[in-house]
Amino acid sequence: MRSNLLRTAQCGLRYLSRRPLLSHGPKVAHQCYRGFAATPATREEKQWSTPLAKHLSEAINTTGPIPLATYMRMCLTGDIDGYYTGAMEAGHDQFGRKGDFVTSPEISQIFGELIGVWFVAEWMSQGRPKQGVELIEIGPGRGTLMDDILRTIRNFKGMTSSIETIYMVEASSELRTVQKNLLCGEDAEMTEYIRGWHSIYKCTSKYNGLRIVWADSLKAIPPESNKTPFIVAHEFFDALPIHAFQLVDLPPTQQPTTPESSNNKTSSPDSAATPKREWREMLVSPTPEGTTHADLGTPQAERHDPVPEFQLTLSSSVTRHAQYLPESSPRYRALKSIPNALFEVCPDSSIYASDFATRIGGSSTTPKSRPSGAALIIDYGPADTIPANSLRGIRQHRRVSPFAAPGQVDLSADVDFGAIVEAATIASPGVECHGPVDQAYFLEAMGVQQRAEMFWRKLEAGLYADNKKKEIESSWRRLVDRGPNGMGKIYKVLTILPENEGRRRPVGFGGDVNP
Ligand code: SAH
């Protein structure tokens, strides 16, 4: 029997974006005990699709199957042929029509402008601090969003002069250069500095000469309690590695013998009827020779591709992660009552959320005298359930197996907004969260219609050709499309703000109740 996790739902890429499948609640799956057999030596002659595929296969032959999170990390940000960090084919661009996917800032400049206006509104609401403001973007892609934000903010002189540093957290050295070219100019030179274990790079923005600092990790940017950080992460959390678990009923021979189960007098009717269950981790291993798409349960749309070189298997024993991650939150513990439940956990996402929260609100050990700043997280995932079965691969605007051509396929998974809220509020007593709200709701509250009308006036003034007019009109409408697979519905916006007992609802989130 196969796991549902292998059967990713089929869903056409109408928007050619990295948008998700329809959101899922906890899913049930048939038990999957596909065993792992170390790849025989003859396999070494196999032609692997990418250098990373060969490397992964060799590593797994040595260590045994690897957690999904390890696979994702190696595929996306590993040194060997990682999708973002490795040596992609010369000239390959992940973004845009010729790349693999498009994102909202690349679709319409109005998106970034409204995010800029949101930060200005927050800066004003927080008493217009005159100094110590930091703009931090995590996973900035081509730098388009920050460019649109900075172009917008420069119209607000008070805020511009309060900005001390703009930080760009970017794992890819190639994308850091693309971002520098856009924000500082092609001729501008980045200067490299060593900070602790990290290299950081500096350059000057073309907007008001603001200082921009690049780092490959947020850890390279020390939190300081006298700063006001405004943080944005758009389509970043979905690229963070996930662990996936499935609940299995232990076979009768493995049902633990406890005094309770062996002594009918003391056992409750429930304990006699409920089988013992364990969380098992989904692991990645090479696909055995001769495996077919039917064996793997590959969705029809992906069956004209070669059989993926890797597959998910269910661990036959309880891994270290299966021991502690499903116990790490009451939200996960509640799933244990659902037979065959599946769910995904993204520990990195909680680490980032905790980091954002402590920068804004301080922590119990390093309190901030006055919490300040804000984080805006825009991504896709269910608003109020735990993601399951959501890993997907995208290549050249097409859904492909996440286990094919490792390092050349974009991988992403639904974001667990509930886990972000939980991690942020546990990490800092000085923050509160609002949302997630649908992107359409947020952008409309931010005045997307009015901003588009300003464009119209320029259009009517004849500054654009007819086809350009149509493109501008359809692009912003695409961002707020509330259809079942529309970007306005599927993308969600969450904010982490200084704690205020929920009294001041931020613009874009009016009326929403915190989870
Ligand atoms: N925000 C951009 C790009 C989204 S793609 C947009 O919306 O257009 C994801 C981005 O995150 C890329 O820039 C990628 O290089 C970066 N990234 C992925 N994993 C990362 C990590 N672990 N640390 C830092 N950057 C990462």
pLDDT tens column, 365-406: 888 999 999 999 999 999 999 999 999 999 988 899 999 999
Judge whether residue 259 has pLDDT over 70. Answer: no
Q: Cβ neighbours of residue 12 under 8 Å, at least 6 residues apart? A: 301, 399
CA of 34 to the centre of ligand 1 (A): 34
> Helices 144-153 & 173-184, crossing angle to 10 degrees?
30
Specify the pLDDT at position 33. 30
- Per-residue pLDDT band at 467 (split at 50, 70, 90): confident
Q: Whose CA is nearest to atom 21 of ligand 1?
A: 171
Give CA separation, 206 vs 149, 209, 486, in Å: 13, 6, 35
pLDDT over 70 percentage in the chain:
84
Q: Which atom of ligand 1 is nearest to the CA of 233?
A: 1
State which H helix or E strand residue 295 sits in. helix 293-296
Judge whether residue 220 has pLDDT over 70. Answer: yes
Specify the pLDDT at position 464. 66
- Per-residue pLDDT band at 454 (split at 50, 70, 90): confident
Specify the pLDDT at position 471. 80
CA of 195 to the centre of ligand 1 (A): 21
Residue 484 preceded by cis peptide, ω within 30? no
- Per-residue pLDDT band at 470 (split at 50, 70, 90): confident
Mutating to test ligand 1, I would choose from 236, 377, 415 the residue with most ligand atoms within 8 A of its C-beta, which is 236
Q: Cβ neighbours of residue 493 under 8 Å, at least 6 residues apart? A: 376, 377, 378, 435, 436, 437, 438, 439, 442, 508, 509
Judge whether residue 16 has pLDDT over 50. Answer: no
Query: 166 in helix, strand or coil?
Result: strand
Residue 436 preceded by cis peptide, ω within 30? yes
Pick the more confident residue, 351 or 317: 351
Alpha carbons 11 and 380: distance in angstroms, whole number: 15
Give CA separation, 373 vs 111, 429, 473, 495, in Å: 21, 14, 33, 11
Instruction: Verify whether ligand 1 is closer than 6 Å to residue 172 (CB atom).
Output: yes
CB atoms within 10 A of CB 474: 12
Contact present, 297 and 262 (Cβ < 8 Å): no
Specify the pLDDT at position 513. 34
Looking at residue 503, the DSSP 8-state letter turns out to be -
Instruction: Verify whether ligand 1 is closer than 6 Å to residue 220 (CB atom).
Output: no
**Cα 326 to chain centroid, rounded:** 20
Q: ∠ CA(282), CA(288), CA(291), 5° rounding? A: 95
Specify the pLDDT at position 14. 27
Q: Cβ neighbours of residue 89 under 8 Å, at least 6 residues apart? A: 408
Give CA separation, 360 vs 41, 437, 447, in Å: 53, 21, 26
Q: Whose CA is nearest to atom 3 of ligand 1?
A: 141
- Per-residue pLDDT band at 457 (split at 50, 70, 90): confident
Pick the more confident residue, 363 or 88: 363
Specify the pLDDT at position 297. 87
Q: Cβ neighbours of residue 476 under 8 Å, at least 6 residues apart? A: 108, 110, 111, 448, 451, 452, 455
pLDDT tens-digit map of 221-256: 999 989 999 999 999 999 999 999 999 998 877 765
Alpha carbons 492 and 480: distance in angstroms, whole number: 11
CB atoms within 10 A of CB 424: 28
CA of 238 to the centre of ligand 1 (A): 9
**Amino acid in the structure at residue 350:** S
* pTM attached to this predicted model: 0.89
Instruction: Verify whether ligand 1 is closer than 6 Å to residue 169 (CB atom).
Output: yes
Tokens of 384: 């109020």
Q: Which atom of ligand 1 is nearest to the CA of 348?
A: 22
Least confident of 35-49, 190-204, 257-271, 480-494: 257-271
Judge whether residue 514 has pLDDT over 80. Answer: no
Specify the pLDDT at position 273. 63
Q: Whose CA is nearest to atom 10 of ligand 1?
A: 139
Specify the pLDDT at position 181. 97
CA of 84 to the centre of ligand 1 (A): 8
Alpha carbons 88 and 75: distance in angstroms, whole number: 12
Instruction: Verify whether ligand 1 is closer than 6 Å to residue 139 (CB atom).
Output: yes
Specify the pLDDT at position 343. 97
Q: Which atom of ligand 1 is nearest to the CA of 95?
A: 8
Specify the pLDDT at position 463. 64
Least confident of 85-89, 266-270, 454-458: 266-270
Looking at residue 17, the DSSP 8-state letter turns out to be B
Alpha carbons 166 and 162: distance in angstroms, whole number: 11
- Per-residue pLDDT band at 17 (split at 50, 70, 90): very low
Contact present, 377 and 423 (Cβ < 8 Å): no
Least confident of 63-77, 259-273, 418-432, 464-478: 259-273
Specify the pLDDT at position 266. 45
Specify the pLDDT at position 242. 98
Instruction: Verify whether ligand 1 is closer than 6 Å to residue 17 (CB atom).
Output: no
Alpha carbons 411 and 423: distance in angstroms, whole number: 24
Looking at residue 242, the DSSP 8-state letter turns out to be -
CA of 173 to the centre of ligand 1 (A): 11
> What is the pLDDT of the chain when averaged over all its residues?
85
**Cα 515 to chain centroid, rounded:** 19
CA of 170 to the centre of ligand 1 (A): 6
Instruction: Verify whether ligand 1 is closer than 6 Å to residue 27 (CB atom).
Output: no
Average pLDDT over residues 457-461: 72
CA of 363 to the centre of ligand 1 (A): 27
